[in-house]
Structure 1
Amino acid sequence: MATLNYLKTAFMANKQLLPGLRVLQKFPRKCSSNFERLDGTNETMSEIKFKMMKSLGLDCGYNPHPKPREHLLPYEPKMEDLPPRSMQNSFTSAIIPLSVSKSLQDRYVATLGHVRLGRLMEDMDLFAVWVCHQHLKIPKLDPSVPLPYTFVTILVDKITFTDFTPHANQDIRLSGHVSWVGRSSMEIVVWLEQLEGDTYKKITRALFLMAARNANNTKSAPVNPLIPANENEKMILAGGEQRKERRKQLQSSSLLKVEPNAEEQKISHDLFVRTTRTDSMELNSRILPNNARWMGDTSIVSTMASFPENRNAHNTVFGGFLMRNALEISWVCACLYCGERPKLETICDISFQKPVNVSSFLKMNAHVVYTQDNYIQIMTVADIIEPSSGNQVTSNIFYYTYKAPSKVAEVLPRTYDETLWYIDGRRKLKYALKTE
């Protein structure tokens, strides 16, 4: 009943929605000193991580040869064996107890005493997997048998941050539930809030698209169908369908597949005219207008090794680790570009294209690809480098929208590749500023 009452509060509390998805603005709730959750428990993120490993039959500690899971393949259920679930069945929450843990404060604190948002992205990714566990129900599975599933992040949709600034000495709560389900994929909505006084204030909300895979991550696995329990859940489910269609449209309109539209082609030509000398036909002779910077001069690169510490339960690099490092290098790039401390406004369309082996090197390359007034659009590309051969392949692309305290210099492309990045960055900024 507590879960049902919570969901009713969450559904009704906020009028600013993703299509069909009500997102909680604020929880006016008194909190006890032992971090009591609304469902009467007080689990922390470290506790749910341990629970997930136990559920999957994984051991703590590093082993260069991951524990085989092929023996679990026969236990994978058929779709008809999976009973329907509602959104309230998967609702759960967890605490990051910053108010009582000095070691956690050291890990989460940023300059000026704020929380490192990259750390929170790590937690949200892990928490989304935990929500998947709550949704999955296999009546015929013997309780002594580990869960014959693997869950991987496919993409992260639009994440919009509020004006509330989280501090590194107050508790943070993650809450979430499944908001849409396909045959083997699940959309998870996650809310992030921090306790201030006796009230939880919203930091952000995020949408994760997760894929259910079999025990050894070689093919997709079925998940319980989602049946809405009430009108509110019907509305949320309809919004999930709309977001699914939007993702299809984004893929079909990608600049890697189709040419820019008429308006974007005109913008490209205008950019060429503005940056080309009219008194000389010398090849590649370009001019930079006043208060502008070339895109090629804005990028910063960081190359790092990944270690077993950064692995997930299946011995590849944890997606949250990639999101944290990509976010932090994007923030450095934005700071260096505007010379001030910008505020992260939105993250959108994080795509996970390739798994990253723990033994790989990672190269993060952040670029300023578009600017408008005091907004800075950053694109960060994560490449996997194979140490023995030096071969590179892109693993992830991240898009971040920052807002600087004052108007920033205009960024301009110099090559055709950069022009396409510019157009794509313009699309991302328009989407980030869109009020839904």
Structure 2
Amino acid sequence: MESNSSPSSSPIPIFSTFTSPFEGSSKKSDLTKKPLSLWPGMYHSPVTLALWETRSNIFERLLDPPLDAPPQTELITKTPSRSRMTIMYNFSTDYLLREQYRDPWNEVRIGKLLEDLDALAGTISVKHCSDDDSTTRPLYLVTASVDKMVLKKPISVDVDLNIVGAVTWVGRSSIEIQLDVTQPATADATDSVALTANFIFVARDYKTGKAAPVNRLIPETEREKSLYEAAETRNQLRKRKFKDEKKELDNGEVDKFEELLAEGRIFCDMPALADRDSILLRDTRLENSLICQPQQRNIHGRIFGGFLMHRAFELAFSTAYTFAGMMPSFLEVDHVDFLRPVDVGNFLRFKSCVLYTECENPDHPLIHVEVVAHVTRPEFRSSEVSNRFYFTFTVRPEAKAMNNGRRIRKVVPATEEEAHRIVERMDADSL
């Protein structure tokens, strides 16, 4: 992302939420303003509080949208710089903030970072779609999907961190936002970018719930034009992928499918003869459940998408940890689709498993974990998938050394459905 000197893109400092950022304020306007920490319908975290305070004039309208007001009648053409935002984590000086983000290995908790990325992307989408007219009703913006995110280097919790993002592409009612997580380069990593993510949001009319057109985008710089073209290419690939989802397996895939299933049948029918270096997929499963609480909802009353990604990541990490018997190291999260909204009061079940492993390089084995989120309604005896997450982990050499070089086992299916899932993910990861 290129820098911009406009006031709207000035970096937003992030502070710890162990104490209220509104305490001790002496400004007259602050004394009459309702603290954001008391607003209903917001998932509170250091980042969301800072973002909502920065754009409170917009979010106050969204808390009680004027549904009787007319929709925006004229689309505005904006540049990427109009939506660009930067947030700063002063980890080097803010001890309390460090403690909120520290994991047991003195790195940043990836799950919390996924939350923050979603929060910032959502704010940027609102900023782009706003017409700054209080007489029109705002749009309802929801996370539709997240493209693959790859961790390029470990993120230290002792060094200041920045996230910068802007709109890079728009369709009729969809918006793509690119976010770059940066930390000063070190001797081990010359590039300051630690992670790049692309979020897709879709716009709905608050009153009708139907798709609504969004403001246009005109890239200015060569980099912005390049990002726009890359986003357009990704959009075309998504459309083709959607059309090809139900294609028949080709011969190579059938052979792979049968080979996996044959190994699984040995486990089921002749367990004493099964390969001790393999394990059934069903034996790698973990699960947790929760009732979605009001404190986890966003300004639209739905469960905050970043919260779902956070919970999915931590279950995936636990799954990889118990499977490997060694501390896993996160590498990437594949494309995530938000298939249906999750509401307050929903019974949400996260189910995880290790789909398959890659051990061709014994010093850098790969563990592919699937997490599926189900919205379950016991009173109606129904269960629907809201999200599918695919995470990839490895284990660090020092962890393998501590465990006497313990091998990562191969995962095999016991059913045709499991074999299909494994083959599909292998093919998707090879693209």
Cα displacement string for residues 390-436 of structure 1 (whole angstroms, at most 9, x for unaligned residues): 532111000111112355111011101110111122124324xxxxx
The structure 2 residue matched to 1:392, chosen from 362, 380, 383, is 383
The structure 2 residue matched to 1:188, chosen from 177, 181, 201, is 177
Where 2:180 maps in the other structure, the secondary structure is: strand
Cα deviation for residue 275 of structure 1 reads 4.4
Cα deviation for residue 42 of structure 1 reads 3.8
Distance 1:38 1:114, change over 3 A: farther
Cα deviation for residue 174 of structure 1 reads 1.2
Cα displacement string for residues 351-390 of structure 1 (whole angstroms, at most 9, x for unaligned residues): 1011111111211001111111110111100011225445
In the TM superposition, what are the counterparts of 1:11-22 in structure 2 within 5 Å? Answer: none
Cα deviation for residue 313 of structure 1 reads 0.5
Q: For the residues of structure 2 that align with 1:58 and 1:228, how far apart are their CA atoms?
A: 29
Task: Give the match for residue 163 of structure 1.
Answer: 153
Cα deviation for residue 194 of structure 1 reads 3.2
Q: For the residues of structure 2 that align with 1:221 and 1:155, how far apart are their CA atoms?
A: 18
Task: Give the match for residue 115 of structure 1.
Answer: 108
Q: For the residues of structure 1 that align with 2:191 and 2:358, how far apart are their CA atoms?
A: 33
Q: For the residues of structure 2 that align with 1:41 and 1:425, how far apart are their CA atoms?
A: 39
Q: For the residues of structure 2 that align with 1:307 and 1:146, how far apart are their CA atoms?
A: 31
Task: Give the match for residue 266 of structure 1.
Answer: 255
* Preserved CA contact (<8 Å) 2:10 2:86: no
Cα deviation for residue 85 of structure 1 reads 1.9
Cα displacement string for residues 29-78 of structure 1 (whole angstroms, at most 9, x for unaligned residues): xxxxxxxx99545444322123445303358xxxxxx7464224x1x223
Cα deviation for residue 161 of structure 1 reads 0.2
Q: For the residues of structure 2 that align with 1:217 and 1:108, how far apart are their CA atoms?
A: 39
* Preserved CA contact (<8 Å) 1:360 1:387: no
The farther-off stretch of 242-251 and 199-208 is 199-208
* Preserved CA contact (<8 Å) 1:69 1:215: no
The farther-off stretch of 229-238 and 361-370 is 229-238
Q: For the residues of structure 2 that align with 1:217 and 1:338, how far apart are their CA atoms?
A: 49
The structure 1 residue matched to 2:83, chosen from 73, 81, 90, is 90
The structure 1 residue matched to 2:57, chosen from 44, 50, 54, is 54
* Preserved CA contact (<8 Å) 1:354 1:395: yes
Q: For the residues of structure 2 that align with 1:242 and 1:133, how far apart are their CA atoms?
A: 24
Distance 1:130 1:200, change over 3 A: farther
| Unmatched runs of 5 consecutive residues or more in structure 1 | 9-36, 60-65, 432-436
| Unmatched runs of 5 consecutive residues or more in structure 2 | 15-46, 360-364, 401-406
Cα deviation for residue 130 of structure 1 reads 1.5
The structure 1 residue matched to 2:140, chosen from 150, 153, 158, is 150
Where 2:78 maps in the other structure, the secondary structure is: coil
Cα deviation for residue 83 of structure 1 reads 2.7
Task: Give the match for residue 98 of structure 2.
Answer: 105
* Preserved CA contact (<8 Å) 1:368 1:377: yes
Task: Give the match for residue 68 of structure 2.
Answer: 71
* Preserved CA contact (<8 Å) 1:56 1:148: no
Q: CA RMSD in A?
A: 2.9
Task: Give the match for residue 165 of structure 2.
Answer: 176
TM-score by length of 1: 0.79
Task: Give the match for residue 36 of structure 2.
Answer: none
Cα deviation for residue 200 of structure 1 reads 9.2
Q: For the residues of structure 2 that align with 1:195 and 1:217, how far apart are their CA atoms?
A: 46
Q: For the residues of structure 1 that align with 2:194 and 2:12, how far apart are their CA atoms?
A: 20
The structure 2 residue matched to 1:136, chosen from 90, 104, 129, is 129
- Residues matched between the structures, number: 380
Where 2:216 maps in the other structure, the secondary structure is: coil
Cα displacement string for residues 159-181 of structure 1 (whole angstroms, at most 9, x for unaligned residues): 000123321x4432110111111
Q: For the residues of structure 2 that align with 1:152 and 1:395, how far apart are their CA atoms?
A: 13
Distance 1:222 1:365, change over 3 A: same
* Preserved CA contact (<8 Å) 1:149 1:212: yes
Task: Give the match for residue 33 of structure 2.
Answer: none
Cα deviation for residue 289 of structure 1 reads 2.3
Residues 1:379 and 2:385 are matched in the alignment: no
The farther-off stretch of 49-58 and 392-401 is 49-58
Distance 1:200 1:315, change over 3 A: farther
The structure 2 residue matched to 1:251, chosen from 227, 239, 242, is 242
Q: For the residues of structure 2 that align with 1:305 and 1:275, how far apart are their CA atoms?
A: 35
Q: For the residues of structure 2 that align with 1:137 and 1:312, how far apart are their CA atoms?
A: 18
In the TM superposition, what are the counterparts of 1:214-233 in structure 2 within 5 Å? Answer: 214-216=205-207, 218-233=209-224
Where 1:106 maps in the other structure, the secondary structure is: helix
* Preserved CA contact (<8 Å) 2:10 2:85: no
Distance 1:39 1:68, change over 3 A: closer
Q: For the residues of structure 2 that align with 1:418 and 1:273, how far apart are their CA atoms?
A: 12
Q: Which amino acid aligns with 1:404?
A: V
Task: Give the match for residue 322 of structure 2.
Answer: 336
Q: Which amino acid aligns with 1:343?
A: S
Identity %: 26
Task: Give the match for residue 419 of structure 1.
Answer: 419
Q: For the residues of structure 1 that align with 2:257 and 2:166, how far apart are their CA atoms?
A: 43
Q: For the residues of structure 2 that align with 1:102 and 1:309, how far apart are their CA atoms?
A: 25
Q: Which amino acid aligns with 1:70?
A: L
